[in-house]
Amino acid sequence: MAEGTKGGSGRLTTHVLDTAAGRPAAGLAVALFALEADGRRTLVGRATTNADGRLDAPLLGPGTIRAGRFELVFEVAAYFRARGLALPEPPFLETVPIRFGIADADAHYHVPLLVSPYGYTTYRGS
């Protein structure tokens, strides 16, 4: 966020469901990047999902959320390998990047991921 720019009162959250196992994806690493107008990606933060497949805190919250373009990157191959799943090399899905926009910094943006080693779905949740 630009220095001196006050963030909104909204928040950005996510959760991940392992659809191959039918359970929350615990221990999955997630990174959030801000996409700058000049094409640069700026790391905003990293987190790991808890036992419920959620993060313990919002990725962006009141005071830090702002309008703009962002990218969430989910480290799915590392997650599946850590669970003992044999994946081909290279895996079909190494990471899942989701690019999205925040237009209203006072709103709640929830970006869930439903993932298996060979496919994923996302949407704007509530």
> CA 73, 99, 69 angle in degrees (round to 5)?
115
How much is the pTM?
A: 0.93
Average pLDDT, the chain: 95
pLDDT digits (tens, 9 = 90+) for 27-43: 999 999 999 999 999 99
Q: Write down the pLDDT at residue 81.
A: 98
Alpha carbons 38 and 80: distance in angstroms, whole number: 34
Does residue 35 lie in a domain region? yes
What range does the domain containing 75 cover? Answer: 11-109
Does residue 1 lie in a domain region? no
Does residue 82 lie in a domain region? yes
Q: What is the CATH number of the domain that holds 41?
A: 2.60.40.180
Confidence category of residue 7, pLDDT binned at 50, 70, 90: confident
Does residue 5 lie in a domain region? no
Confidence category of residue 5, pLDDT binned at 50, 70, 90: low
Asked if the model's pLDDT at residue 4 lies above 80, the reply is: no
Query: What's the domain count of the chain?
Result: 1
Does residue 115 lie in a domain region? no
Q: Are strands 96-102 and 68-74 parallel, antiparallel or unpaired?
A: antiparallel
In angstroms, the Cα distances linking 105 to 30, 66, 81 are 21, 5, 36
Asked if the model's pLDDT at residue 6 lies above 70, the reply is: no
Does residue 74 lie in a domain region? yes
